[in-house]
């Protein structure tokens, strides 16, 4: 295997989200749609990489003055004990729901010296994110928040109304790696915690990329996502080794059974698609990866059959999702090219208007 290489990001955050959107949408939509249409759920394909085993971590601290204090304008007086209990419950509940490991300091940070020690410890422990809850606007409150932001650890600053002013937020809000919530609505810092989890999971994700002829590992800068390139020929070789066994026939029979009609593809074509699904499952397990993508045309355009179309287009089983995924990917022209075969599926719900699943024809 070649030494690790680095892949620089040549597209914007918006472009990245568009290009990967179909994978995320597939995760959320494919299984409910398959179940609604009575199709096999393919539940035995799963993540096998580090992302599936990783538990994100969050380090949390409250910040206020130690003594009872009066309101300095502009500002707010927060009952330290009441606010601590209230927000602690919401933080713990959010982390339980998101399956995040939390390190919550039992008492607030009462001085700049305590803040420095807390930040120093955070840099050593390297949690996936920091959450600073400000119950004060004066003295060491925002200096503590700024130290957390400058630590380069992703930081959420929860600033309930009255604990910040534009003079506090204008500069740090322009920095990378920080989400400042000046609100009493805890759903906003909860969103920031979700961002921290997403960033950690992306960083731990290993993507299997079936492309070209070189086997190598790489990494997407900033995201930290790992890419494991696998020569396309290995996919083809694995495919050719898989027989049309009972598993293939059973999965295919479930698809055929729930179709109201089949125009174009033969039973063997459906077997081919199921075999490609099994190849993807086997490669994910063998390479210990969490997700898979493929340069389909580059890998298989010169081959006799395009093995993978049925597998890759299971997520387009009804027109509703097909149209939205197509709009997100802005790939209308590519979908219009070439011939299409149709497997008409029995629509068992009232919410979906189409009964067609349209994978490109398997030649």
Least confident of 27-31, 120-124, 251-255: 27-31
pLDDT tens string 187-223 = 999 999 999 999 999 999 999 999 888 999 999 888 8
Q: What residue spans define the domains of the chain?
A: 5-49+205-357, 57-201
Contacts of 324 (CB under 8 A, 6+ apart): 25
pLDDT at 36 exceeding the cut of 70: no
State the pLDDT at residue 350. 36
Among 195-204, 328-337, 340-349, top mean pLDDT goes to: 195-204
Identify the bridge partners of residue 229 per DSSP, sorted by sequence position.
Answer: 209, 216
* Model pTM score: 0.69
Q: What gap in Å lies between CA 322 and CA 305, rounded to an integer?
A: 23
User: Who has greater pLDDT, 2 or 196?
Assistant: 196
HSE-CB for 201 with a 13 A CA cutoff? 15
Nearest to 178 by CA among 149, 198, 141, 219: 149
State the pLDDT at residue 113. 94
User: Who has greater pLDDT, 308 or 229?
Assistant: 229
| Cβ contacts of 241-250, under 8 Å, gap ≥ 24 | 242/275, 242/278, 242/279, 244/271, 244/275, 247/274, 247/278, 248/274, 248/275, 248/278
Average pLDDT estimate for 322-331? 36
Domain 57-201 superfamily per CATH: Response regulator (3.40.50.2300)
Cα torsion 186, 76, 116, 198 to 10°: value is 10
State the pLDDT at residue 276. 84
Average pLDDT estimate for 40-48? 64
| Greatest extent of the chain over all pairs of C-alpha atoms, in Å | 79
pLDDT tens string 243-283 = 999 988 988 888 888 777 777 778 888 888 888 888 888 99
Nearest-5° Cα angle at 104, 62 to 188: 60
At residue 68 the predicted structure's pLDDT band, cuts being 50, 70 and 90, is low
Q: What gap in Å lies between CA 26 and CA 315, rounded to an integer?
A: 6
pLDDT at 318 exceeding the cut of 60: no
Q: What is the mean pLDDT of the chain?
A: 73
Residue percentage of the chain with pLDDT more than 90: 32
State the pLDDT at residue 231. 92
User: Who has greater pLDDT, 325 or 90?
Assistant: 90
pLDDT tens string 172-184 = 888 889 999 988 8
Q: How far is CA 170 from the centre of its chain?
A: 30
At residue 301 the predicted structure's pLDDT band, cuts being 50, 70 and 90, is low
pLDDT at 43 exceeding the cut of 70: no
Query: Hey, is 52 helix, strand or coil?
Result: helix
User: Who has greater pLDDT, 114 or 258?
Assistant: 114
Least confident of 38-52, 101-115, 201-215, 227-241: 38-52
Query: Computed over its alpha carbons, how large is the radius of gyration of the chain?
Result: 26
Residue percentage of the chain with pLDDT more than 70: 66
pLDDT at 18 exceeding the cut of 70: no
pLDDT at 31 exceeding the cut of 50: no
Q: What are phi and psi of 68, to 5 degrees?
A: -70, 135
Q: What gap in Å lies between CA 258 and CA 46, rounded to an integer?
A: 24
User: Who has greater pLDDT, 304 or 13?
Assistant: 304
User: Who has greater pLDDT, 171 or 40?
Assistant: 171
């Amino acid at each position: 295997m070649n030494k690790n290489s680095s892949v620089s990001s040549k597209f914007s955050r918006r472009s990245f989200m568009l290009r990967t959107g179909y994978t995320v949408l597939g995760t959320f939509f494919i299984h409910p749609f398959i179940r609604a249409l009575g199709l096999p759920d393919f539940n035995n394909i799963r993540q096998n990489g580090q992302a599936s085993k990783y538990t994100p971590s969050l380090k949390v601290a409250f910040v206020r003055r130690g003594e009872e204090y009066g309101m300095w304008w502009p500002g707010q007086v927060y009952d330290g004990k009441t606010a601590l209990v209230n927000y602690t419950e919401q933080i713990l509940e959010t982390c339980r729901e998101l399956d995040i490991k939390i390190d919550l300091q039992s008492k607030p940070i009462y001085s700049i010296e305590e803040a420095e020690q807390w930040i120093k410890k955070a840099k050593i422990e390297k949690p996936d994110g920091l959450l600073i809850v400000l119950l004060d606007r004066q003295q060491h409150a925002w200096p503590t928040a700024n130290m957390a932001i400058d630590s380069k650890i992703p930081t959420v600053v929860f600033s309930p109304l009255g604990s910040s002013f534009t003079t506090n937020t204008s500069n740090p809000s322009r920095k990378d790696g920080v989400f400042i919530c000046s609100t009493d609505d805890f759903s906003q810092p909860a969103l920031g915690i979700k961002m921290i989890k997403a960033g950690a999971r992306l960083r731990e994700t290993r993507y299997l990329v079936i492309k070209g002829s070189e086997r190598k590992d790489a990494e997407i800068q900033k995201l930290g996502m790992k890419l494991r390139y696998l020569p396309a020929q290995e996919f083809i070789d694995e495919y050719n080794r898989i027989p049309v066994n009972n598993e293939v026939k059973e999965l295919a029979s479930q698809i055929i059974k729930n179709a109201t009609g089949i125009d174009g593809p033969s039973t063997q074509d459906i077997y081919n698609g199921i075999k490609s699904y099994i190849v993807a499952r086997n490669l994910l397990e063998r390479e210990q990866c969490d997700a898979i993508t493929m340069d389909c045309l580059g890998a298989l355009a010169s081959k006799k059959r395009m093995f993978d179309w049925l597998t890759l287009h299971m997520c387009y089983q009804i027109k509703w999702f097909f149209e939205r995924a197509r709009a997100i990917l802005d790939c209308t022209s590519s979908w219009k090219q070439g011939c299409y075969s149709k497997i008409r599926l029995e629509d068992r719900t009232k919410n979906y208007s189409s009964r067609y699943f349209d994978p490109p024809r398997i030649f």
